[in-house]
Amino acid sequence: MSFTTSTFSTSSISSLLVFAILMLFAGGCNDGAIGQKANLSTKADSVSYSLGYNYGRILAQEGIDDLDLANYAAGVFDAMYDSVEAISATDRDSILMAFQQELQVKQEMARAAESEKNLKEGEDFLAENRNNEGVVETESGLQYRVIEEGTGDKPSATNTVEVHYRGTLLNGEEFDSSYRRNQTATFPLNRVIEGWTEGLQLMSVGSKYEFFIPAYLAYGDTPPQGSPIKAGSVLVFEVELIDIVR
């Protein structure tokens, strides 16, 4: 079986994908095939790899790391080619429902452990950071440092503001930046994380501050889905207040 760009089609992608998976397990899973560098000589190869990679990322993000790939491939083959199903639809539904419940418990336990670890790291960081020169801590626990003090008005919690900002984790990883997009951001102060609502009200237009925001004033245990921000993370923001829009 071979596929070239000239014979590229949806059916060829499907056939190639299943064929590749089945060939992978034809001689067993210990022959070194898993983990080998992809052979991307045709368009179908590239599409097949891309599909596999994307689905693999989804499985990894969901914490599904113990699949029997040989039986997974058998299920794909049976579904695509209308082969006799080894497990009935009713039984499959029951199996997957139980698996989903187990996975949910596993994910919740992992999030709790991750949050506890990040909270401890955050507490240690903030305890040390509050002693650094120029750092001020408010009653809520928000910490900030004035980089440049402006002379304009200060916003209230009901105002909409225009800002430039850069957000990083404690390890320095940047997770968001209006500077990188080369475009300022505008938003109502009462619709952002608490650390921003409080912190921006300390600033005059033209100011530039650095904020160190505890998890409980940021996203707590529920960070944005798909974000590098993890549960319990302290966030560091460099914020420039450009204008009070209204």
pLDDT (0 to 100) of residue 26: 46
pLDDT (0 to 100) of residue 164: 97
pLDDT (0 to 100) of residue 5: 37
Single out the catalytic residue among 21, 25, 176, 229.
176
Coil, strand or helix at 235: strand
Residue 115 CB: number of other CB atoms within 10 A? 19
| Of 33, 39, 100, 41, nearest in space to 70 by CA | 33
- The pLDDT of 106-117, averaged and rounded, is 88
| Of 48, 42, 55, nearest in space to 22 by CA | 48
Single out the catalytic residue among 144, 237, 242, 244.
237
Residues 53 and 67: their CA atoms lie apart, in Å, by 15
pLDDT > 70? residue 40: yes
Coil, strand or helix at 185: strand
pTM of the entire predicted model: 0.66
In tens, the pLDDT along 8-32 reads 444 444 444 555 554 454 444 444 5
Single out the catalytic residue among 49, 77, 125, 175.
175
Single out the catalytic residue among 3, 144, 165, 211.
165
Single out the catalytic residue among 21, 219, 229, 242.
219
Cβ(209)–Cβ(144) below 8 Å: yes
Q: Is 175 a catalytic residue?
A: yes
Q: What percent of the chain has pLDDT over 90?
A: 55
Domain boundaries, the chain: 5-86, 112-244
Q: What is the DSSP string of 135-174?
A: EEE-TTS-EEEEEE---S----TT-EEEEEEEEE-TT--E
- Pick from 107-111, 179-183, 227-231: least confident: 107-111
pLDDT > 80? residue 50: yes
How far from the centroid of its chain's Cα atoms is residue 131's Cα? 32
Q: Is 165 a catalytic residue?
A: yes
Residues 7 and 235: their CA atoms lie apart, in Å, by 51
Question: In CATH, what class is 112-244?
Answer: alpha beta
Residue at 94: amino acid letter? S
Q: Is 49 a catalytic residue?
A: no
Single out the catalytic residue among 8, 193, 221, 243.
193
Residues 71 and 37: their CA atoms lie apart, in Å, by 23
In tens, the pLDDT along 156-196 reads 999 999 999 999 999 999 999 999 999 999 999 999 999 99
In tens, the pLDDT along 81-103 reads 878 889 998 999 999 899 889 88
**How high is the mean pLDDT of the chain?**
85
Q: Is 176 a catalytic residue?
A: yes
Band of residue 211 on the pLDDT scale cut at 50, 70, 90:
very high
